[in-house]
Structure 1
Amino acid sequence: MLTPFTEDRQINEPVLREMVEFMITKGLHGLFPVSSCGEAIHLSHEEKCHLMDIVVDQAGGRVPVTPGVPATTADEAISLAHHANKIGCAAVVASAPYYYKATTSMMEQFFVRVAKESNMPVILYNIPLFSQPLPYDVVGRLACLPNVVGMKDSSGSIVDFLHYKDSAREAGGEIAMLTGREEGLLASLHMGGKGCMTATSGIMPEVMTGIYGAFQAGEYEAARVLQESILEPIRAMMFGAAFPVGFKLGLEARGFPMGPPRVDLSAKEADGVALLKERIASLLNPSNTS
């Protein structure tokens, strides 16, 4: 989930609640607040918890909520996980500590503590764009912990995806593999993946659930056509502006005012965003353009 802000950069609760309704109504199977695309890194501890509170309350048990617990220390990730557990979240999504480069053993110990002390299911999060990539053997060992239930792999590499999956199998563990890259949903499903956790799922849920549904029905050509249909919008949203501004423009095109990003854009970037907004709107709503 992306995070909507008011003009003074506070969490926009009314819009957030509307987003939850939109995503559930359009058929998504779960919600992932406090995410990378949701600018979680710019949120305080209290704001992260508040974000969880709103989403869980609005979802009302209709779909599972699995918030992120991004942190540079295990203590902070565990504290966020305890809040998620207290309010009834189904699991938490834990990424590797960022900024300071941890050794492989430090990274593994971080996840072991989060898994053992959070007292709830944990989904590992591999996101090399923002933190150190998880080694295959570490994933294999972590997959053997009883409450490590899944992994979101945002490497964008089907090679890594398969090796993570196989490392868990070889170690005797079993985790649900989810892709974090929209473009790879169909390919990952063909190779035994269970689904995806992606920003585009919250922007174009009809298409993403359509890919999943067509695959489950054995309608592989229909799934392929849907998968290819999102490539141009994704390129515009992912690479057209500083992350995650393009994705927020995508949600604005769907009718949700997202407010300014937490980090200021330059005047030149703001001009470019105005043009990008028109382009993304035309890609997502072609019938509304001339």
Structure 2
Amino acid sequence: MNTKDKFFKPEGIYPAMVTPFDDNGNVNEEELRKYVSWLIDSRVSGLFPLGSCGEFIHMSFAEKVKVMEIIVDEAKGRVPVVPGTAESCAGKCIELTKAAKAIGCQSVVVAPPYYFPSSQEIMEEHYTQLAKAVPDFPIVLYNIPLFAQPISYDVVKRLSRMDNIVGMKDSSGSMVDLMHFMDKIKIAGEDLNILIGREEMFLAGLMAGAKGTMSATVGIVPEIMSGIYEAWKQRDHDLAQQLQFSVLNLIRAMFALPFPIGFKAALDVRGFNMGRPKQPLSPADQYNYSMVKARIHKILDQRLGDKLKAVV
């Protein structure tokens, strides 16, 4: 038996969850519970909170723990909870990962250390220390060049040999990088579950051998994103392609606002009260917000019709 087989490996459709806040900037527990239940009812495979779209970087350790506790409690074992536990140094990352394990999460997703520039050697040591600190807990690597130093192909190859490193979320948006990551892992004789982070290339990633997606658009239109996945599994590639193209206009609209505000606006359109972002908007952004939100509403109405509102 492969030593990784004893560990949970995420697969399928995981929403990169947006975090709802109240008017005082605190986590809105009631709205978060509604969001969790709706996502599960929408047949997602699991939940990925505290990623970039969840504004983890603006949250305290206590707030992150609270979010994990609420989500695990609300999920009640119906789907796995796999939070992000990225931190700027290994010590803090280990502490948050141990908290996730104690709370009852099934795995964690860990982006490289951020803020200070990191060499590939520092990055590899960061992940190595984490994996050794929680040897009985599965870890998913997270390549996100938009916000952190990219992980090199060879570092992924070497890290893939560690027993409890079981997967990788790749948000490079590059099919070139995806193929090289997969090839290097294969050369190492390992089998990591690769999850697509850029929803625009979800179907292309599946065709190349990825095992699913962890992306923010799953948390906005789980009906469509799960439709891509189910159509692909049933080898209805025409339908899968049609659904894949159907979300591109929505994604462009959501990215017309500073990230992740467009995704919060889309969830407001779906019937949730996501509250203000942690980072305050400029007057110009506030003016643009209403126009972009109206555009998002029109797109969602076209795509979903009667299913537009998530919460009655």
User: Is TM more than 0.5 here?
Assistant: yes
For 1:193, the aligned partner's letter is A
Task: Note if 1:236 corresponds to 2:289.
Answer: no
Distance 1:4 1:66 in 2: 18
Task: Note if 1:172 corresponds to 2:189.
Answer: yes
Paired residues of 1:144 and 1:174 also in contact (CA < 8 A): no
Distance 2:271 2:301 in 1: 11
What TM-score comes out, normalization by structure 1 length?
0.98
Counterpart in 2 of 1:218?
A: 235
CA RMSD of aligned residues (A): 1.1
Q: 2:140 aligns with which of 105, 123, 128?
A: 123
Structure with larger RCO (C-alpha < 8 A, sep 6+):
2
Task: Note if 1:202 corresponds to 2:210.
Answer: no
Distance apart, 1:36 and its partner CA: 0.6
Distance apart, 1:103 and its partner CA: 1.2
Distance 1:210 1:112 in 2: 37
Matching of residues 35-184 of structure 1 within 5 Å: 35-118=51-134, 119-184=136-201
For 1:159, the aligned partner's letter is V
Paired residues of 1:127 and 1:153 also in contact (CA < 8 A): yes
Paired residues of 1:24 and 1:63 also in contact (CA < 8 A): yes
Distance 1:104 1:248 in 2: 34
Counterpart in 2 of 1:272?
A: 288
Q: Which region of structure 1 is more displaced relative to structure 2, 164-173 or 33-42? A: 164-173
Task: Note if 1:259 corresponds to 2:275.
Answer: yes
Distance apart, 1:196 and its partner CA: 0.3
Distance apart, 1:188 and its partner CA: 0.4
Distance 1:79 1:222 in 2: 44
Counterpart in 2 of 1:284?
A: 300
Counterpart in 1 of 2:33?
A: 17
Deviations 1:96-137 (A, max 9, x none): 000100111111000111111124100000000000000000
Distance 2:120 2:202 in 1: 29
Gaps of 5+ in 1: none
Identity %: 46
For 2:282, the aligned partner's letter is S
Distance 1:2 1:44 in 2: 16
1:152 is paired with a residue of what secondary structure?
strand
Q: Which region of structure 1 is more displaced relative to structure 2, 200-209 or 110-119? A: 110-119
Distance 1:251 1:115 in 2: 35
Distance apart, 1:174 and its partner CA: 1.5
For 1:163, the aligned partner's letter is H
Paired residues of 1:253 and 1:285 also in contact (CA < 8 A): no
Runs of 4+ residues over 4 Å off in structure 1: none
Task: Note if 1:246 corresponds to 2:271.
Answer: no
Deviations 1:67-113 (A, max 9, x none): 00010011111111111111111100011000100111111000111
For 1:35, the aligned partner's letter is G
